[in-house]
Structure 1
Amino acid sequence: MQYTSFVDVLLILTRGDEVLLARRANTGYSDGLWNLPSGKLDAGEDLEAGMIREAWEEIGIELSRKDIRMANVVHYQPPDEQTRIGFFFHADSWSGEPFNAEPDKCSDLRWFARDEIPADTVPYTSIGLDLFRRGEHFGLAGWTVTAESARNASEIG
């Protein structure tokens, strides 16, 4: 069976000790929960181009490739859903003032202290933010480790 996964780009936009989160609405995925500005890659789009596009579409800011840097990657297996690979980018400089540019998909946009992320945040986002706070660059979540998969990983590594 061929493996497929969603490839997401997520923006950790910081202002001092705060991070910007958006409350999802009317999307069919984690509606009502807080999330980073994010989205899936378009066909033929590289990761940085996708992140720059999503920042413009969702929060109306202009980013350049020099404004963003890779923070971490999360390989996430949500219960009963398609696997996701999230590339989390960090930016602390940009052009424009963030605003809710997609009110049909977002009910609120708010800055939160990095250490006070709301409990009702998309788990995937929480994992990436936790890795960012700890300075770690890769995380797995939602995967069931079996004796066979652990043995295979140890044989490879």
Structure 2
Amino acid sequence: MLPSTRAFLERHAAEHPVAAAPAAAAGPAAAAAPSGTVPNVVGVHLLLERDGQVLLGLRHPDSAYAGGSWHVLAGHCEAESATACLLREAYEEAGLVIDPAGVELVHTVHMRERPADPPRIQLFFRARRWEGTPRLREPDKCAAWQWWNAEELPEPIVPYARAAIEGVRAGRVYTELGWGR
């Protein structure tokens, strides 16, 4: 084990000690989860590219999250796989039919925007094949779809979307944001 990895693990163990749980904890799920375990929200994102441009949506100004900012097509996983969620969201939000055989995971962002927020895993998928032209199907969430030069992204843009697009362009597959390091 590398010294830096060992130091990280030792620091993490000291900051998050595992409390001894009573033998009759609240069921098998409680017994399996170490103390301090927090579920992560899983988001899926579509990185749709053509001719050096990426598709971004302008979030409705009244959106609960990032109103008035540009963002890739995205949604939260429900009781479904990440790929199924991506296909569903692409159709619901923009009327696009994505070929699941042409989908690949290209970047992951593990983030926390504020200390009190739940951590999030943001999965970015590239679709090599799709049918349809992006159209507004949820105007209460998205005010416009537009293709942008990937080297000249608009402002304001959701920061983790920018980090992922730039990461993909640089050949990186993973980014961490908001963990205070």
Where do residues 119-134 of structure 1 align in structure 2 (5 Å cutoff)? 119-134=155-170
**How much identity, in percent, do the aligned residues show?**
33
Structure 1: 4+ residue segments shifted above 2 A:
79-82
Greater Rg over alpha carbons, structure? 2
Structure 1 counterpart of 2:32: none
Instruction: Report how many residues are paired.
Output: 144
Q: Which runs of 5+ in 2 are unaligned?
A: 1-35
Pick from 148, 159, 167: which aligns with 1:112?
A: 148
1:105-143 deviation line (CA, Å, top 9, x unaligned): 111111000001113000111111111111111111111
Q: Tell me the SS of whatever aligns to 1:97.
A: coil
Task: Indicate if the aligned counterparts of 2:135 and 2:145 stay in contact, CA closer than 8 A.
Answer: yes
Once residues 33 and 123 of structure 1 are traced to their aligned partners in structure 2, the CA distance between those partners, rounded to angstroms, is 10
TM-score by length of 2: 0.76
TM-score by length of 1: 0.87
Structure 2 counterpart of 1:16: 51
Pick from 91, 96, 113: which aligns with 1:78?
A: 113
Q: Tell me the SS of whatever aligns to 1:29.
A: coil
Structure 2 counterpart of 1:60: 95
Where do residues 139-154 of structure 1 align in structure 2 (5 Å cutoff)? 139-145=175-181
RMSD: 1.2
For CA contacts below 8 A with separation 6 or more, give which structure has more relative contact order.
Answer: 1
